[in-house]
Each structure stands twice: as C-alpha cells, then as structure tokens.
C-alpha cells in the first residue's frame, strides 16, 4: 500500500501537480487514505445447464450471492430493488431472467429505462453479448430514443422487438404521449427495468416519480402488471425511494459482502492565491491526469462544468507534448455532443484509443468504458453519493488497484472534505428525497395524465397508492373540467429533466453542432458570450425561439459575465418569531435573475470589450429566510455585514444537516438585502427542503459556524465566508463580525419562539 502511494506522489511531484513541500512560502495540504479490497461472496444456488453454458462462454464460472438472490426473486414474479457496489453485476442479475423468459415466451416484452442515452446504448451492448451467448433463438433488442432516426422509430413502433431500451424523456413523449401506438407492445409487457435509481432525485427525480406513476397507472388500466426491477449502487433508502418512485412495494436485494477493489486515495487542498485560483487549479488537475498517463494508468477526470471539460482537455493536449506524451489519447466528454461523437468517444475508451478522458457527470453512472485505473475529482460533487459513483468508475474489479485523487476547490464544502478524509470515508450516504406531493409539478403533469386516460370514471383498486394522494386529488378535480383536445398531447410542454424545459440547438453556419438547456442559455450562451464546444471556441451571435447561433472565435478567448438577483416575497406559509426581534419563515419568493453585462478577455486576460447589455428572467421558488423584525432590536446593529454572511453560513451548513445535493439550495449573495437572509430551493415547486430548514435551521447555522471557525483565514475567504459584489471596503474583522452575529442570533433564539404563524389565519399568535 505504502509503495503504491509513494510512487504516485513521486510522479505527481515530478509533474508539479502537487506541492506538498514548502515552495515560495506555500505548501499544499495533503491527506492520504487506503481502503483494502473485499472479495465477493459466491452462491451455489443452481442454474440451468443452458444458462451455465452461456455464462461459461463469456468467462463467467459462477455468480455472486446477491445476483442469484435477485434472479430467484425475479423468476418468482416479485418486484425487486437491487443495491450493490459499482461493477458488482447488477445488470446480469436481471438480464439473465429477462432473456430466459423471452426465449420461452415469444410474446413476452421487456422495457428497460435508463437515465441517460449513453447508459442505454452501453447496456444494450452488454445485453447483446449475453443474448449471443445463449445461442439460437436469441431475443432481439433495440434502443428507442432521440438518437434513433425517425424512420427507425416508426419501424420499431410498428413491429417492436422483445426488448426495448429507452430513457425517461421517451417514456414520457412516446410510450405515454402516443401510448395508442404501443398498445400491442405494452399489453405483453412482462418486465420493467428502472436502472440507476439514485439519479432520480431533486427536480429530475420528482418529475420521474410522477412519470413512472403515470406509466404504471396506464399499464394497470390496460390490465398489465409487469415485474419491476430497480437497481442502484448508492442509495441509502432503497425501499422507501422505490416506493416514492412507483407507489409499489419491493423485495430488497443487497450485496452483504460489500465487495470492493483496493483503493488508494489522495485528498489535496492546493495552496493557490485566490486571484489565480481558477487558472492554477485547472493546471494542477491537468498535470495530475498527465502524471497518471505517464504511470500507464487509464484515467477519468471529473470536472465541475462543461466549460471546464473543454478548457482542461485542450490544455492537456498542449501540456502532453511538453512531457512527450501522446495528445491524441486525451479526449473530452459531456452532454451536448452529437450521438456519433459520444459513441465514438465511448468506443475509443473501451478499445484503449483514449487513455485520459475529461468528463462532466455524463460518465458518472454505469457506462462500461473499459477498465479504468484512476479517478481524478476536480472539486467535490453535489453530494457524497455522487462522489462514490465517480470513484467507482476506477478499479471496476474487486481484485484490481484503483487510485483516487481529489483536488478541493476554493469553497467550504470542498475544503472540509480535503481536510477531513475520514469524515468522507465514514459518512453514510444521504437518503434520497423526491417531492411526490409537489403541487406545481403535479399541475404540469396533470394534462398529460388526463390526455392518457381521459377523465376519472371508475375507481381502480389501489389507484390512490399508485398515483399518490396529491396526484389523485388533482386528477379528480381536473376530470371535472377536462375536454379532449384533438391531435398531439401536451407532453412536449412538460420537461422531465431541465427546469427551463426547452432544449436549444447550437448552430454554426446552418449546421446543428449540439444542444444546450434553457437554463444554461441564460448563464452560458447570452448574446456575446464565448462558448467552448468539443475543443473549439465559439461566440454567440444571436438567438431564435429555440436556437443559439454561433460563429468561430479565437482560441483562448473567454467572457466574464456579471449577475445579480432581486427577491420578492409572494407568500408566507409558516413562521416563528422571538419578541419582535427576529423571525424565521417558510414561503414562496419570486427571484429576478439579472445579467448586468460581461467582459470579453483574450488568452492573457486582457479586456478586449465590455458590454452593459442586460437581460432578466424570473422564477418562483420555495424559500426559508431569517428576518430582522424591528430596527429597535439589539440585533439591528451589525446587520450590514451580519446578514450578508449569514446566508453563506446557512449554505455551508445545510448539506451536512439535511439530505440534499449541494445545488438543491441556493442563496442570494449577489443582492443588497440587509434585513433578511434567504436560502431557497432550486427545484420549482420544491421537494420539502425549505420547509425542513424551518425546523433545523439552528443546527444548520451551528454547522456553518463550525466550518467557518475551522478555516485558518482571519478576514474571510472563499473557503468559508467571502465578500459579495455589494461589499465595499470590507476590513479584517468581517469574518469575526459574521460569526459573532450568527452566534448572537442563536443566543436570542435558544428558547422556544414567542409566536408562530397561524396557517389558517396567516397571522401571529402566542405559541
């Protein structure tokens, strides 16, 4: 173990990827960790001669214990949720009974739903290999999604194969949006697979839960009850989450051995000046990937943004030449590329043509892209669950070594884990939350449910459990005023994944080169922005209703936008108040997001152009906030710095106290608000996080204080509390002022509140 880490550290120093010895007065903080391998447990439960022969032809002589348990449940017709580590053979657990059933029952159909198209294509390749191993009379399988040409989709609808693989968008748009064209397939549906269920959380997860419940409701109307198989590698509450997604109960199968490979971990907090942090941080990450390449390690580098992927991969190609390494074996990967580009990269990773890939979370889940040896994390992901998913991409066999190198960005969560590697290794996975009672999203799905089933006429057994009480209630009310609309249904107007809903085309010289979400357009593709795509630099010249027009731009150019936000309180739903001094609320805000302009810079950071053109968007959100109730309060003094920093302390503490992704909650740091500190949900309609904050806000604030006080800085920094764009002339007492102000609020609110908001009357009353 020590030998492996010493060798890795030596090469990283040679490439100047880490500086764990004092240089120019600076020294990276480095923590190492080791996780020993655990072998799997095998099962002696019998398989048919045919299955054993097929597996033997693939080099598989025996199955893991959890695989056999899953096969036994599925064969008996049970609904099952399988939870086991990455590369532990979950896919084989359901592919075997599905193929065996399809061979004996010519009418049997299976529908497999994957969260991404890339994973769907990868799983189909695995399914085909197993199908060929079974020999004669193999059932056919096809992918059905937006990458399949329309003429092929028509053929698949007309004459579907026994097994189809799709994603949530096409389950929504086609299998439900045009369910009448799928009747002959759906009526013979025996298996429904929903893979990687940990991906269904937050906005996407809530939409997916409503979608899956709509689909199962439609199947029940058709008299169809397939066996349902769910799976995940990282889900802390699998049975509960499975029920929220489907409204059904499941048998649970887990890997009791907790099989895993030997893992060597290196957590780095790079000592980089704040004004140069982004540039040098990227260089360190790039050099780390190249150092792994020098060691002969096939490496995946997970990057925080699409822009980082593009810039880092281009940087790595240039740097590779300096170290006599082949730049052609370095490649970027992210969403927004064409299907052919993605397939080409995936195949290149499997064949070994590419040795280093810079990726967003697009390669986080399940895709078999070869036996990777090293995983580089450029910043901490949204949550611990995602971190383990990414780590699981390397060492995809329990008897192999895997290397994990984590570089902390300049923010509190990243820095906390960099300094506390054991807190990461010992922290349990968060429970997954979806808001099946989210009224706003239910109203979006309701027209689809009505179009698919018509008005509610007969009471189907278990429909309240299947749809959920809130969805069924909305269905009953909607049925009273429903009028059939001829032609296509409303499905295209209901986004499943993107909060913005619309997917924009990226066009250069009349040719579509990729796509981008509506939300990303506002932040990344405003008119005049520099946008990097597949290693090339473009400038945004214009927009149409659903199209972004690009022209070629000078390599190395970039734009720096300026954004600010303005909140308006629409409705207060709950609240508590202490003696007219301080109050906490849960309610609904309208937030106006504003682009104030941008700077165009060349590769050397010189300003080429400044624009003051403005644009605005608004969104309604669920929010928690702390409010100053009276200017006579003893807390009123100190509010200028206090409230600006209070929000940051809340954002720091929240992910440690409540189960949420880091970006499920956001604040309004770029605002001049002096009497309230807001923390709002980024999911439209919310998933209950803001309401949860109302009961645990003091613990959240205490955790934020703990992290801030542990930071070595004196005046505040990006690692704990930093100035926002409205702070001017902030002195060295800023950090202590914020922390002391937060402590004063905690002291003032340590006793029960004097009043609470009456939800019925919307007025204060004594507690």
The alpha-carbon radius of gyration of the chain (Å, integer) is: 27
What's the confidence (pLDDT) of residue 728?
A: 46
Q: Which of 32-36, 459-463, 633-637 is least confident?
A: 633-637
Which residues lie below 8 Å from residue 477, measured CB to CB, with a gap of 6+? none
For the chain, the first-to-last Cα distance in angstroms comes to 60
Edge-to-edge order in the sheet of strand 530-533: 511-517, 503-508, 547-552, 536-543, 530-533
Which residues lie below 8 Å from residue 7, measured CB to CB, with a gap of 6+? 295
Residues forming a β-bridge with 666: 680
SS3 110: strand
- Between CA 6 and CA 12 the distance in angstroms is 10
Which residues lie below 8 Å from residue 145, measured CB to CB, with a gap of 6+? 117, 120, 166, 167, 169, 170
Q: How far lies 440's CA from each of 201, 204, 207, 444, 659, in Å?
A: 16, 14, 11, 7, 21
Mean pLDDT of 15-24: 87
Architecture of domain 49-254: 3-Layer(aba) Sandwich (3.40)
Q: Are 333 and 348 spatial neighbours (Cβ–Cβ below 8 Å)?
A: no
Q: Where are the alpha helices (DSSP H) in 76-167?
A: 90-104, 117-134, 150-158
Residues forming a β-bridge with 247: none
Exposed (0-12), middle (13-18) or buried (19+): which is 487, by Cβ within 10 Å?
exposed
The C-alpha angle with vertex 653 and arms to 651 and 655, in degrees rounded to 5, equals: 85
Higher per-residue pLDDT: 529 or 420: 529
Question: Other CB atoms closer than 10 Å to residue 70's CB: what's the count?
Answer: 29
pLDDT at 480 over 90: no
Q: Which of 93-102, 161-170, 487-496, 590-599 is least confident?
A: 487-496
Encoding tokens for residue 388? 């383990």
Segment 72-77 long-range contacts (CB within 8 Å, at least 24 positions apart) = 72/45, 73/251, 73/253, 74/191, 74/227, 74/229, 77/227
Residue 491 DSSP code: G
pLDDT at 1 over 60: no
- Between CA 291 and CA 268 the distance in angstroms is 15
Q: Are 212 and 407 spatial neighbours (Cβ–Cβ below 8 Å)?
A: no
Residues counted in the chain: 767
What's the confidence (pLDDT) of residue 580?
A: 73
Encoding tokens for residue 394? 């390397």
Nearest Cα to Cα of residue 55 among 109, 92, 8, 17: 92
What's the confidence (pLDDT) of residue 632?
A: 62
Q: Which of 355-359, 488-492, 552-556, 746-750 is least confident?
A: 488-492
- Between CA 632 and CA 580 the distance in angstroms is 9
Mean pLDDT of 711-731: 66
Encoding tokens for residue 685? 């309609």
What's the confidence (pLDDT) of residue 356?
A: 96
Average pLDDT, the chain: 88
- Between CA 684 and CA 688 the distance in angstroms is 11
Encoding tokens for residue 393? 């991409």
Please determine, looking at this structure, whether the domain spanning 2-37+260-425 carries the CATH number 3.40.50.300.
Answer: yes
pLDDT at 137 over 80: no
Query: For 332-389, how does the pLDDT look when each residue is reduced to its tens digit (9 = 90+)?
Result: 998 888 888 888 998 898 888 999 999 998 888 766 666 789 999 999 998 888 999 8
Q: Which bin fits 258, alpha (ψ -120 to 50), beta or left (φ > 0)?
A: left
Encoding tokens for residue 697? 């806000």
* b/e sequence 333-352, b meaning 16+ C-beta within 10 Å: bbbbbeeeebbebbebbbee
SS3 451: helix
- Band (pLDDT 50/70/90 cuts) for residue 469 is very high
- Between CA 375 and CA 442 the distance in angstroms is 39
pLDDT at 725 over 60: no
Handedness of CA 569, 694, 238, 402 (dihedral sign): positive
Query: For 422-450, how does the pLDDT look when each residue is reduced to its tens digit (9 = 90+)?
Result: 988 988 888 888 888 888 899 999 999 99
- Percent of the chain having pLDDT more than 70? 93
What's the confidence (pLDDT) of residue 661?
A: 81
Task: Enter the pTM of the model.
Answer: 0.80
Backbone angles phi, psi at 472, to 5 degrees: -65, -40
Question: What are the boundaries of each domain within the chain?
Answer: 2-37+260-425, 49-254, 557-766
What's the confidence (pLDDT) of residue 85?
A: 87
Encoding tokens for residue 345? 């990269």
What's the confidence (pLDDT) of residue 633?
A: 66
Q: Where are the alpha helices (DSSP H) in 488-532?
A: 518-524
What's the confidence (pLDDT) of residue 730?
A: 45
- Band (pLDDT 50/70/90 cuts) for residue 729 is very low
Encoding tokens for residue 278? 């982004």
Nearest Cα to Cα of residue 12 among 284, 331, 309: 284
Query: Are 2-37+260-425 and 49-254 equal in CATH topology?
Result: yes
Query: For 485-523, how does the pLDDT look when each residue is reduced to its tens digit (9 = 90+)?
Result: 777 789 988 888 865 556 788 999 999 988 887 778 888
Angle between helices 689-710 and 639-657 (to 10 degrees): 110
Segment 120-123 long-range contacts (CB within 8 Å, at least 24 positions apart) = 120/145, 120/165, 120/166, 120/167, 121/147, 121/165, 121/343, 121/346, 122/346, 122/366, 122/367, 122/368, 122/369, 123/91, 123/165, 123/195, 123/366
* b/e sequence 633-652, b meaning 16+ C-beta within 10 Å: bebeeebebbbbbbbbbbbb
Query: For 247-286, how does the pLDDT look when each residue is reduced to its tens digit (9 = 90+)?
Result: 999 999 999 888 888 999 999 999 998 778 989 999 999 9
Give one DSSP letter per residue of 224-243, joined into a string: ---EEEEEESS-SSHHHHHH
Mean pLDDT of 700-712: 90
Encoding tokens for residue 608? 């080429």
- Band (pLDDT 50/70/90 cuts) for residue 640 is low
Mean pLDDT of 538-555: 92
- Band (pLDDT 50/70/90 cuts) for residue 134 is confident
């Amino acid at each position: 173990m020590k030998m492996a880490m010493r060798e890795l550290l030596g090469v990283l120093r040679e490439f100047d990827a880490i500086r764990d010895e004092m240089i120019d007065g600076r020294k990276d903080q480095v923590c190492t960790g080791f996780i020993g391998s655990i072998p799997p447990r095998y099962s002696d439960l019998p398989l048919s001669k045919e299955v054993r022969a097929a597996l033997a032809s693939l080099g598989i002589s025996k199955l893991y214990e959890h695989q056999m348990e899953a096969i036994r449940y599925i064969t008996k017709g049970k609904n099952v949720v399988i939870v086991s580590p990455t590369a532990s053979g979950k896919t084989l657990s359901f592919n075997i009974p599905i193929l065996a059933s399809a061979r004996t029952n010519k009418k049997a159909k299976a529908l497999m739903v994957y969260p991404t198209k890339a994973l769907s294509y990868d799983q189909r390749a695995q399914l085909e290999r197993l199908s060929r191993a079974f020999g004669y009379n193999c059932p056919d399988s096809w992918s059905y999604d937006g990458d399949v040409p329309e003429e092929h989709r028509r053929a698949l609808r007309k004459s579907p194969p026994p097994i189809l693989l799709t994603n949530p968008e096409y389950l929504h748009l086609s299998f439900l949006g045009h369910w009448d064209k799928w009747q002959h397939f759906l009526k013979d549906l025996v298996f429904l697979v929903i893979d990687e269920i940990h991906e269904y959380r937050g906005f996407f997860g809530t939409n997916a839960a409503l979608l899956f419940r709509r689909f199962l409701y439609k199947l029940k109307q058709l008299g169809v009850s397939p066996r349902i198989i769910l799976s995940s590698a990282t889900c802390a509450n699998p049975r509960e989450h499975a029920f929220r997604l489907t409204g059904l109960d499941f048998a649970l199968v887990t890997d009791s051995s907790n099989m895993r490979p030997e893992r060597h971990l290196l957590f780095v907090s790079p000592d980089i000046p704040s004004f140069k942090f982004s540039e040098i941080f990227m260089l360190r990450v790039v050099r780390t990937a190249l150092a792994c390449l020098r060691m002969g390690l096939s490496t995946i580098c997970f990057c925080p943004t699409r822009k980082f992927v593009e810039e880092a991969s281009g940087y790595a190609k240039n740097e590779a030449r300096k170290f006599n390494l082949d730049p052609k074996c370095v490649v970027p990967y992210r969403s927004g590329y064409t299907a052919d580009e993605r397939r080409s990269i995936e195949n290149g990773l499997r064949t070994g043509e590419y040795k280093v890939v810079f990726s967003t979370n697009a390669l986080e889940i399940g895709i078999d892209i070869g036996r990777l040896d090293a995983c580089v994390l450029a910043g901490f992901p949204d949550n611990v669950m995602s971190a383990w998913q990414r780590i699981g991409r390397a060492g995809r066999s329990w008897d192999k070594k895997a290397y994990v190198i984590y570089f902390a960005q300049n923010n509190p969560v990243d820095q906390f884990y960099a300094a506390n590697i054991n807190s990461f290794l010992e922290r349990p996975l968060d429970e997954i939350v979806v808001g099946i009672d989210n009224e706003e999203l239910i109203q979006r799905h309701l027209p689809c449910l009505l179009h698919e089933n018509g008005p509610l006429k007969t009471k189907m057994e278990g429909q309240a459990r299947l749809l959920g009480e809130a969805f069924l209630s909305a269905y009953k009310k909607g049925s009273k005023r429903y009028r059939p609309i001829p032609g296509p249904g409303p499905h295209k107007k209901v986004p499943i994944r993107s909060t913005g809903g619309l997917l924009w085309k990226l066009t250069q010289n009349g040719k579509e080169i990729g796509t981008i979400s509506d939300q990303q357009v506002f932040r990344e593709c405003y008119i005049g922005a520099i946008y990097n795509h597949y290693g090339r630099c473009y400038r945004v010249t214009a927009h149409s209703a659903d199209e972004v027009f690009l022209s070629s731009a000078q390599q190395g150019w970039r734009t720096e936008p300026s954004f600010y936000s303005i909140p308006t309180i629409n409705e207060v739903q709950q609240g508590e108040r202490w003696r007219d001094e301080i109050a906490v609320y849960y309610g609904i805000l309208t937030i106006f997001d504003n682009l104030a302009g941008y700077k165009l810079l060349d590769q050397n950071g010189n300003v080429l152009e400044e624009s003051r053109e403005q644009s605005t968007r608004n969104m309604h959100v669920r929010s928690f906030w702390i409010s100053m109730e009276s200017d006579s309060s003893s807390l009123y003094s100190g509010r200028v710095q206090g409230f600006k920093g209070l929000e940051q302390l809340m954002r720091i503490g929240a992910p440690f106290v409540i189960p949420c992704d880091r970006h499920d909650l956001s604040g309004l740091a770029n605002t001049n608000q002096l009497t309230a500190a807001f923390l709002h949900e980024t999911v439209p309609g919310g998933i209950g996080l803001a309401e949860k904050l109302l009961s645990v806000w003091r613990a959240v604030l205490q955790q934020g204080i703990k992290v801030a006080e542990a930071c070595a800085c004196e005046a505040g920094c990006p690692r704990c509390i930093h100035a926002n764009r409205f702070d001017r002339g902030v002195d060295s007492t800023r950090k202590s002022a914020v922390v002391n102000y937060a402590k004063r609020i905690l002291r003032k609110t340590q006793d029960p509140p004097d009043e609470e908001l009456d939800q019925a009357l919307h007025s204060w009353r004594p507690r």
